[in-house]
Amino acid sequence: MAGKLVVYYSRKGMNYMPGGIQPLEKGHTEYAAEFVRDAVGADLFEIDTVKPYSADYRECCKEASDELKANARPAIKGYADDISKYDTIFVCFPCWCGTAPMCVFTFLEHYDLTGKKIIPLCTNEGSGMANSEKDIKASCPGAEVLPGLSVRSHQTIDSRDMIVSWAKEQILK
């Protein structure tokens, strides 16, 4: 059996939480990605943009909105070395403006993912998966994109068992 990869983008720093904007040393999506990695024995790859998003939460939201409107594909610092060795790819991301951050699409569209199983996991504070599943399917022609998991961002750490159970179930599909 071919391998499993967990790809993720996660925002550290100022994030929206119930009660307001708060600083995070580690982003919620990073925790979720690590839970999935540990559950299914996958490799882990962090998507990192060449140009960092603003540290200011509201300015970052504007940047994300501008990227979405422009259908931008921001440059990222690197790519997984050999995607051919993976048959299953979990894609973990925060919901920004109703979809995955544009840098996630930069990563996905770099590859021919034909025949691969793509499994999204989205952290958010109430938007759910929004348009992300549809948008990921459009960016991964020839791949099988399974229904994703939506996790409330501020509940990510407390959702470890649920995320682990879900990830293990996805491998069996």
DSSP string computed for the chain: --EEEEEE----EEEEETTEEEEESS-HHHHHHHHHHHHHT-EEEE--BSSPPPSSHHHHHHHHHHHHHHT----BS---S-GGGEEEEEEEEE-BTTB--HHHHHHHHTS--TT-EEEEEEEESS-TTTTHHHHHHHHSTTSEE---EEEEGGGTGGGHHHHHHHHHHHHH-
Residues 35-61 pLDDT 10s: 999 999 999 999 999 999 998 889 999
Domains and CATH numbers, the chain: 3-166 (3.40.50.360)
Residues 107-147 pLDDT 10s: 999 999 999 999 999 999 889 999 999 999 999 999 999 99
* Mean pLDDT across 9-18: 85
